[in-house]
Structure 1
Amino acid sequence: MRMIVIGAGAIGCSVAFHLAREGASVTVVDPEGLRGGATLTSFAWLNCHDKSPEDYYRLVMRGNRAHRALGDEIGHANWLKLTGAVEWWPTGTEKAREHSARLDRLRSYGHQIETLGAEDVLALEPDVSRSSLEGCEAVFYPTDGAVDTAVYRHVLMREAERRAASLVEARVTDLLERSGRIAGVRLHDGRELEADHVVNCAGRASNPIGVCLGYSVPLEWKPGMTVITDLCRNNVSRVIKAPEIYIKPEGAGRLLLHAKSADQTLEDIHAPDAGKAGAEEIARLVETVLPAVRDVRIADVRITVRPYPIDGKPVFGTLPGVDGYHLAVTHSGISLGPLIGRAAAEEILHGKISTDFEDYRPTRFSQSIGN
């Protein structure tokens, strides 16, 4: 079966791998190849802390475990770091009350959480400033992990290409419809690529590509940024969520950093200096938590617009009355990528409806069908 996968992000590469593994002839189409998109900008923290209700929490937990299973199948999971995560927040605040309710909910699900004192945090992460922990509560999430998104995409695409998949760097402008079904895609240069089935994993571009179908996913658009530091001496070994900044080891002494306050500086993401103020904010915040990286140089600023389905949940599956087409768009693309890839292969190649995504079909947005 000839397959076209639109988008080479975390979801698209997983779909391509799983389809190629099952013997499909797969072409992945993305204007930036493996160099861009929301996947590259993601903080890529595997966690379930804010996932509710319980069914959705369990789905994301299965997605996290699916990364390990995928690594076992390939022979390694060198994109995956399962070292847990440390988080702390000021006591006696509204945020503390929100955290308490969240921890109660997670514990009711059976989620593993360890309460820490300041000395416990410093034993896990000795570079952390003791002063940043004063007046704070802290916890450790032993089942949390992190993904190196560049490695993840390259490994899956390489494995797909070993099975004769190909990657075309081009922009899809439209879907081809023939005899009442989707039959391929049209590219920006006028070329047409034919296929037996198309899977739209284009993220923020998914609605414009599928506009001819009279359907769109209600999406919120949230600009965001992460930064990569230059090489610096540090001993950070796991995800750290301090009150104002997220910190993740990125290998070779580099750190991946994110702060919500930096996102708020992004008024025009296309401006030449769009990330300058945010990067300065992040550099200031990381120094308050990790004094050892004072005066750290920011090596790369990554900015994107993240698509969030309006209800915060994934969208995966077919559209009523449309043959030869699947749609997959979600904010949790890193966590759910392996599951979505597996579900696509099951549904398209074997006609087996995925139970993982039965509550997350596009049809739940009925008001958007036919508009």
Structure 2
Amino acid sequence: MEDTFDTIVIGGGIVGASTAYHLASTGVDTVLIDRNDDGRATSAGAGILSPATSSRTADDDWFAFATDAVAYYPTLQERLERDGASETSYRRQGAIAVAIDDDELEPYADARARIRDRDLDYIEEIDPADAVNRFPALEEPRRAFYNPTAGRVDGRAFAESLLEAGRTHGLTTIDGEVENLQMSSDGVSGVETAGGTHIDAGNIVIAGGAWSPAFGAQLDVEIPVEPQRGQVAHLTLPETDTSAWPIVGGFRHHYIVPWPDGRIVLGATRESEVGFDPTLTAQGVNEVLTEGLRVAPGLTDATLEELRVGLRPVSADGLPILGAVPNVDGAYVATGHGATGLMLGPYSGKIISDAITGTSAAIPPSLSVTRLE
């Protein structure tokens, strides 16, 4: 059996879903093939959209890209709603960065200095008591600042909205596994699935998250991405309206994300050298709960509703890997977003789509696949 499309997208996480949506919405005949791996990062992440309060904010290249990515979210949400997508989960929530203990005061001061250097005057230092007033479960911090532009998104919901909207433009989605790429003399020509189906296409996008390096050998390019495990806890505060509570970030690389109806997400571990093992561990869950309750002891009596785990695709230099594969016509890569995949993923998908259709400027060299040569 053979089918023919203009473009094949491999991977149905938020990056692949965004790439497929943007291609389909511009008239490109697109198929997305997804095997829905256990531990996909999109399904576990809390989705904080706040470059200025991220632990990655010291990296200028990352910060510039992340700022553009977050600024694109409202535009994309409007497009998805016009295309009939159901609730995307995206919302501007605001975020507080807090220094609770002495060891956090120095990184807090460093963050404030970067904010001043970048003239981000919409981010203001707030009184510790005001921080508690905004997030009642919070331990009163030593110092705190507030970013009113920060948002949050549920990765599962947003990825599904992208696919739902894409289908209104003719996007085809297939549950399955790509076993091999089909190669021509100078580029890609399609894929072969594990079920023996051959699908022809002039363009292929590798957006398989941490699993993307599996296709590197066929493309004659190293894709230096490793899985990093992140464990996350979902709590509920019965009969508590948390819809207006801000996101909270401490300075030990953990976070607290409130949602409506009393749901609170605590995360996340950053575990390297675990392979493709999406296992919840006693140590990881203890870390997430201990750190969350240190920052917000008012959550002590919350109900533990769910635990999630995801395998983030972390690149060797910590930056996304985007764009056309050198010397292989029609091959593209979109991976390596690490712990900020939900922040960067939708915009990355747009950039890859634009590269395929020739409607955008070149991908920044610091993010391009060509930096791997």
TM-score scaled to structure 2, two decimals?
0.86
Q: Aligned residue for 2:126?
A: 116
360, 364, 371: which one aligns with 2:371: 364
1:320-368 Cα offsets, whole Å, 9 max, x none, are: 210111111122322222322222222212x2453453432111112xx
Q: Aligned residue for 1:194?
A: 200
Q: Aligned residue for 1:337?
A: 345
Mark the CA change 1:333 to 1:354 in structure 2 (over 3 Å): closer, same or farther: farther
Runs of at least 5 residues in structure 1 that lack an aligned partner in the other structure: 367-371
Q: 2:320 touches 2:367 (CA, 8 Å); kept in 1?
A: yes
**Does 2:67 correspond to 1:61?**
yes
Mark the CA change 1:11 to 1:97 in structure 2 (over 3 Å): closer, same or farther: same
CA drift of 1:36 comes to: 5.5
**Does 2:180 correspond to 1:177?**
no
Q: Aligned residue for 1:43?
A: 46
Q: 1:343 touches 1:354 (CA, 8 Å); kept in 2?
A: no
Query: In percent, how many aligned pairs have the same letter?
Result: 24
Mark the CA change 1:150 to 1:86 in structure 2 (over 3 Å): closer, same or farther: same
CA drift of 1:183 comes to: 1.1
2, 12, 17: which one aligns with 2:16: 12
1:61-108 Cα offsets, whole Å, 9 max, x none, are: 110010111112233774212121012114653x32222122211221
CA drift of 1:210 comes to: 2.9
Mark the CA change 1:346 to 1:181 in structure 2 (over 3 Å): closer, same or farther: same
CA drift of 1:257 comes to: 1.2
**Does 2:305 correspond to 1:296?**
no
CA drift of 1:175 comes to: 0.9
CA drift of 1:167 comes to: 1.6
AA aligned opposite 2:42: T
1:257-282 Cα offsets, whole Å, 9 max, x none, are: 1044xx5599687487x334433443
Measure, in 2, the Cα distance between the counterparts of 1:247 and 1:356.
33
Measure, in 1, the Cα distance between the counterparts of 2:162 and 2:230.
25
Q: 2:98 touches 2:143 (CA, 8 Å); kept in 1?
A: yes
1:88-139 Cα offsets, whole Å, 9 max, x none, are: 114653x3222212221122112232112221112211232xxx225x2111
Q: 1:90 touches 1:137 (CA, 8 Å); kept in 2?
A: yes
Measure, in 2, the Cα distance between the counterparts of 1:303 and 1:172.
24
AA aligned opposite 2:310: T
Point out the more displaced range, 59-68 or 281-290: 281-290
Q: 2:334 touches 2:352 (CA, 8 Å); kept in 1?
A: no
Mark the CA change 1:257 to 1:53 in structure 2 (over 3 Å): closer, same or farther: closer
Measure, in 2, the Cα distance between the counterparts of 1:266 and 1:54.
27
User: What SS does the aligned partner of 2:238 have?
Assistant: coil
1:1-371 superposed matches below 5 A: 2-32=6-36, 37-49=40-52, 50-75=56-81, 78-90=88-100, 92-93=102-103, 95-111=104-120, 112-128=122-138, 132-133=139-140, 136-230=142-236, 232-236=238-242, 237-242=245-250, 245-260=254-269, 263=270, 270=277, 274-331=280-337, 332-349=340-357, 351-366=358-373
Q: Aligned residue for 1:369?
A: none
AA aligned opposite 2:26: E
CA drift of 1:157 comes to: 0.5
Mark the CA change 1:84 to 1:291 in structure 2 (over 3 Å): closer, same or farther: same
Measure, in 2, the Cα distance between the counterparts of 1:267 and 1:363.
28
CA drift of 1:158 comes to: 0.2
Q: 2:293 touches 2:300 (CA, 8 Å); kept in 1?
A: yes
TM-score scaled to structure 1, two decimals?
0.87
Aligned length: 356
